[in-house]
Amino acid sequence: MPPDAVLFDLDGTLVDREPLMTEAVIRVTAELGIDLRSGTAESWVGSAWPDFHAGLGVQDQTGLDLTAFLERIQATAALLIDDGFPIRVLPGGADLVHRLRVRGVPVGVVTGSMRGEATDALAGLGVLDVLDLLLTAEDYRPGKPHPACYLLAAERLEVPPDRCVAIEDSTVGVASAVAAGMWTVGVEAANAEPGHAAHQRLDDAHVVVPTLELLTDELLEPWGSGR
């Protein structure tokens, strides 16, 4: 029996923009004179922008509100892309989204990215128009690892959380989905090596796969095996 809905994270799950955004954050905070200790940017992988902005104390230190801070980061990221900074499309993600929709399974994306950057990335993947739901950082608080975003997604799709599958790449994302009561799949395609500041621990996921290409229907349908 298929799940009632499948919910994907975006960055690190469908596309790998995290190295790009980490570099943009490092450059912008350096320009602003914010003390970003080694590994700090990477340690926020999977978190929503409002939480990152508040956690760094950006407004207190610089007077920049969230919108102005993100404008600086997005402008820097755009310059990095123009200079050839790579963005990886992660294997199997777009195909899995389309496969689920053909089967009639509702599909959503639940991300800590802002709506503009999320829609651009999803349009580039060719999946934006087939999604049943897109939740971005503007839609919920607090961010991951709190379960609010996944509980809201289940509510919007009118399905029980424990009948949803969530697919995540980060420690905080896995924690969020598990806390919401969802069958949680960790994907390692974009994960850093153990010992690196950006390495994500996915042990709490119910299933971990190297790439979404290897995520079989059986792994997406735990209820069929007696769950």
Q: Name the residues annotated as catalytic.
A: 9, 11
Give the ranges where 103-197 is alpha helix by DSSP (H).
115-125, 148-157, 171-179
DSSP 194-205: TTSTT----TTS
DSSP element (H, E) containing 99: helix 93-102
d(CA 168, CA 96): 14
Report which of 192, 7, 13 is spatially closest to residue 109, judged by C-alpha positions. 7
Print burial letters for 163-194: b (CB count within 10 Å at least 16), e (below 16). Answer: bbbbbbbbbbbbbbbbbbbbbbbbbebbbeee
Report which of 90, 39, 87 is spatially closest to residue 195, judged by C-alpha positions. 39
